[in-house]
Chain A
Amino acid sequence: MSKRELSRRGVLKTGALGGAGLALPTIFTASSAAAFTNEPTGGTVTLGFNVPQTGPYADEGADELRAYQLAVEHLNGGGDGGMMNTFSSKTLQGNGILGKKVEFVTGDTQTKSDAARASAKSMIEKDGAVMITGGSSSGVAIAVQGLCQEAGVIFMAGLTHSNDTTGKDKKANGFRHFFNGFMSGAALAPVLKNLYGTDRTAYHLTADYTWGWTQEESIAAATEALGWNTINKVRTPLAATDFSSYIAPVLNSGADVLVLNHYGGNMVNSLTNAVQFGLRDKVVNGKNFEIVVPLYSRLMAKGAGANVKGIHGSTNWHWSLQDEGSKAFVRSFGTKYGFPPSQAAHTVYCQTLLYADAVARAGSFNPCAVAEALEGFEFDGLGNGHTLYRAEDHQCFKDVLVVRGKENPTSEFDLLEVVEVTPAAQVTYAPDHPMFAGGTLGSCNPGA
């Protein structure tokens, strides 16, 4: 019978060897077995939904989250399938993505870039999200897109309308389904020309951040091309609540059109203030004074109430569209939640399906394979007509809606009416257009 004695040195040596042995497989897995960040290995795949759950856009974020949950349900074979039934690509079978059941985690962007990056980082590093999607602000979208590029995951942007998202700040791992400021200008200009003529003087009030700047530039360029004169462009703080001191100078400025480059609470308040000051009843230069809200949202229009009546703007999608895809989505969403979806809900639902479909077509969750599948992808049946995911800038090109505040709404949802569906060709621009210059996609980053 042998006797073995334990010494402190011996325990340390054994511990060190054992630790190294245990660590070896992890190091090995991390360095070469995983081809890309958060490669799904089990029977599930996790998607990260990063939406404003608190803060001023929380209602919009809640609608996005509803749409994401609906998309996950449809991808996993639940519900009525929604737009999966009308989507031109038929690779999705309702058995998850590549046979893996879709699960999700959520983050709260708070509509703050730093908070949004922190929640996206947490979902990638702690929850193993293989794709991040969502947002209701261009500042947030650009910040999270940059993070996803560094982390090596795909970012499917939610509601972001700044030209910069797929312009100077575009990234190889980022994709945008939503339209942008340039497209709003291109869609609105002909309608404004028909309604208000070519001899107009415009005054811009603009939210002082990336989205406001690019929309102002786009709308001013589009209307000046019609022959309109832009008399002033005033930047308003994002935190402004009472716009009366910005509206008052408009009264004596000689302008006969006020363009409100505002969104969310800013739009609700500036439009309410403009109507309060009697701008809509004013006659300037022998013409009726007009107000234009280039980016409309039904949720925000509700906040502005009767003030939106007769006011024109543009939108990415509206529940009253009568194509099969829109009808399927409205039926599916409305039956589940009791009210029609917003444009934010629509775009994030589409993004989720488009990501899943790209994975299925690529046969891999590798972000570079997914990006390749999305680049140049042409599809239909998702509510916007024939659509192209352009390879050069990862921007979707599709029809844009020009809408008007409805004079006699029949319900609390019936606030906007579509006055024109502008064909995609009319809003398409060259990849090297000056308004989108200054950045490059770079190369896809698979991470790991």
Chain B
Amino acid sequence: MDAFLLQILNGLDKGSAYALIALGLTLIFGTLGVVNFAHGALFMIGAFCAVTLQRLFSLSFETIDPSQKDFLGNPLKVKTPYLESWLGPDAGGAIIDWSVPLAILFAIPIMITIGFVMERGLIKHFYKRPHADQILVTFGLAIVLQEIVKYFYGANPIQTPAPDALNGVANVGAMIGMDIVYPVWRIVYFFFSVLIIGGIFAFLQFTTFGMVVRAGMADRETVGLLGINIDRRFTIMFGIAAAVAGLAGVMYTPINPPNYHMGMDFLVLSFVVVVVGGMGSLPGAVLAGFLLGILESFASTTWATTTLPGINQIIIYVVAILVLLTRPRGLMGLKGVMED
């Protein structure tokens, strides 16, 4: 029973990242009709916002410590962060320690700006082009973005830890008399993703802006005929989708050290999630994200891998095939989307 609940937790945790990325993808597809293969790159750039802020906070000056030697036998240069020097070791150290959560504030304006620039500068020129052209140009953009990041940050993963207070494990099973421990930061990530997903749905459901966007998603032409500048609102939605992907990336950095390729690692999975959920369906993307996360988690258990060797590597794709065979529009897909 402990192991079962642990895998459920793990699936929800894995599904959080899938759901967040797929939500952004669906927002862009639902509003602009663009199949954005650069969405994984936005996730990666968000993660590197956290890396950048950590490095900015850790900017240091060097002092010579003659009592220690470096690898060449010269006196060791000891680095002290400016923040620790200015604010004291405790306050300065605490800011550096909390750099990942603080990077949320840093990443939001950056990601929205990147989203605007991407949409206005490149993607808008492909609205009326076939989906194949959109895929090619956004995939090319993703490669360019990841190579830029690799140029500045290298190819190796960069450790970006969670604050000390949120490291370690919590016994989440204590209240039901079980011993189920789970990493605190992964629990934080799950609740963070629920918060973001809830926020996006509330924004679309309960604001005038959201109502117009939903109307535009249903019938762009009619909304335009009413004198509403729907293009501007869709551009803003692109920025919001970029920010969602970026925030998913920021908060993911303590889970796995970011590298330039992490966006591509998630991209294919996220598209499977979107297709299983139903193209253009926001609730479908979220549902499929969590569902596939849980399935993937169970498929990696010892029981599953010994019963069906290799099932852990193919489960998501098998489920995608089954869903598409039985429900060609996906779990919650809408009629008419990508069916012309």
Q: Which residues of A contact B (CB under 8 A)?
A: 55-59, 232, 234-237, 239, 241-242, 244-246, 248-249, 251-253, 265, 268-269, 272-273, 276-278, 281, 299-300, 302-307, 319-320, 330-331, 334-335, 339-340, 410-411, 413-414
Contacts and interface: CB of A to CB of B under 8 A. Distances in A.
B183 A278 contact: yes
B318 interface: no
B261 A56 contact: yes
A303 B158 contact: yes
Contacts of B259: 56, 265, 303
Q: Classify the interface of chain A: helix, strand, loop or mixed.
A: helix
Interface string B18-36: 0000000000000000000
Contact of A276 (B17, B156, B186, B262): B186
Contacts of A299: 156
A379 to B, nearest CB: 25
Contacts of B10: 244-245, 248
B156 A302 contact: yes
Contact of B169 (A235, A241, A246, A277): A277
Contacts of A340: 71
Interface residues of B, number: 48
B156 A300 contact: yes
Nearest to A270: B256
Contact of B7 (A235, A245, A305): A245
Nearest to B13: A244
Contacts of B11: 245
A239 B266 CA distance: 11
A299 B159 CA distance: 12
Contacts, number: 132
Contact of B72 (A245, A331, A414): A331
Interface stretch (B236-244, B274-282, B295-303): B295-303
A442 to B, nearest CB: 33
Contacts of B221: none
Given A277-B183, A411-B70, A305 B159 contact: yes
Contacts of B120: none
Contacts of A331: 72
A403 B340 CA distance: 61
Contact of A248 (B150, B256, B297, B309): B297
Contacts of B300: 234, 245-246, 249
A410 B74 CA distance: 13
A334 B71 contact: yes
A248 B76 contact: no
Per DSSP, chain B at the interface is mixed
Given A245-B10, A249-B302, A334-B72, A276 B296 contact: no
Given A302-B156, A303-B158, A330-B72, A252 B3 contact: yes
25 contacts: A55-B155, A56-B259, A59-B155, A235-B309, A237-B312, A237-B313, A239-B265, A242-B17, A244-B10, A244-B186, A248-B3, A248-B297, A249-B7, A253-B302, A265-B261, A277-B182, A281-B168, A281-B169, A303-B158, A304-B257, A306-B161, A307-B159, A410-B68, A413-B71, A414-B71
Contacts of B202: none
The 8 closest A-B pairs by CB, nearest first: A305-B159, A58-B155, A278-B169, A245-B300, A303-B157, A276-B183, A245-B297, A340-B71
A245 B14 contact: yes
B255 interface: yes
A268 to B, nearest CB: 5
A242 to B, nearest CB: 6
B154 interface: yes
Nearest to B170: A278
Contacts of A58: 150, 154-155
A319 B71 contact: yes
Contacts of A414: 71
B155 A335 contact: no
B3 A249 contact: yes
Contacts of B305: 234-235
A222 B92 CA distance: 47
